[in-house]
Amino acid sequence: MRSIPIDVLRAFVAVVEARGFTRAAEELDRSQPTISLQVKRLEELVEAPLFEKAARFELTAVGAVCFDYGKRLLHLHDSMLDEASRRKAPDSMLRVGVASEFAGRLIPRLGQLRPNAAVATGFEVVTDASESLASAFRQRALDIAFVIGAEVDGQVVARWRAPLRWFGVGGRPVKHPLPIAIAPRGSALHEAAVDALRAQGRRFDIVCLSADFAVIAAAASAGLAVAPMIEGLAPDGLRPCHDKTLPALPPVTLSLLARTKALAAAGRRWLGDAVETLQSL
C-alpha cells in the first residue's frame, strides 16, 4: 500500500500557497531543489501531474484533490503533535495572541481559556498587529489567537463581521487635510480607511502610525487626529465623527484561530461578550 510522507505533502501545499518553489523553500527553510524533488515525488506517488503545463501553478484535477486533502492532513498531523506535546507537559504555558485593539477586553478574561484547554497553568501573551499574530500562528509560535482581518487558512475556528467608524474628540474632525491616526500599511483598518479616503478624493495626513491601539487611541484622545476604530472599542472621551463629508468605512472581519478542538471551545468562551453583538460569518 502506498503512503505519502508528511514532508512531501507539506512541500506541495507550501508551493501552491506561495505560488512558487523559491518562496516555499524559504518558508520551510529548505533548499529549492529539495522542494522540487518532494513535489516530483508526490507526482510519482499519485501517478499523475499536479500542475497544468499550460498555466504556471494552476492545479490539475488530481493536484486540487492533493492540495485540499493535504491541507487537512497537515492540520491533523500538526494538531496531534501539539496535543501530544501538551499532554507530556501539562504545566506548559499557553501561547495566546491578541490584537492590540482587543487587549483591554480579552486579557482580563484569560482565565476562561483554562477550563477546557486543560493544558496550561499560565499564559504567554503577545499583543501585536493582527498580521504579525497571524504570521506567528502560521509558524506555530502561538496556540490560539484573535485577529482582525488577517487570513490563516485551515485553522480559523470562527469569524465575525465588525462595523468600522471614524472616532475623534467631540465627534468631529476640524482640520483639512484630515489628520488621521492609524495602524501600519497592510492592516485591515489601514487599508479600509485609506482606500475609502482615496476613493472619495479626500486629502489626509497620517500624523500617528502605530501597531499599538493604545497609541492610536491616545493620539485621537489628544485631539491630534481622528482614527478608524471598531465600533464599541473606542475609549472614553472618543466619539463617532458625525461629519457627513467623511467616507463610510466597510466592516472588518475578526477571526478566532485555534490549534485544537479543546482550545477552540475554550476560545469561544474567552471571547464571550466581546463578540456577541457582532454578526457571525
pLDDT tens sequence across 228-247: 999 888 888 899 988 888 99
**Kind of pairing between the strands at 144-148 and 93-99:** parallel
What global pTM score does this model have?
0.69
Which is higher by pLDDT, 88 or 164?
Answer: 164
Close Cβ partners of 223 (under 8 Å, ≥ 6 residues apart) = 168, 169
Among 174, 166, 180, CA closest to 234: 166
Most confident of 61-70, 116-125, 170-179: 61-70
The sign of the CA dihedral 164, 187, 175, 198 is negative
Among 238, 89, 267, CA closest to 171: 238
pLDDT number for residue 156 = 78
- Structural domains in the chain? 6-85 (1.10.10.10), 89-158+253-280 (3.40.190.10), 164-250 (3.40.190.10)
Report whether pLDDT(84) > 80: no
Q: Compute the mean pLDDT over every residue in the chain, rounded to the nearest whole number.
A: 85
Residue 174, number of CB atoms within 10 A of its CB = 12
Contact 133, 126 (CB under 8 A): yes
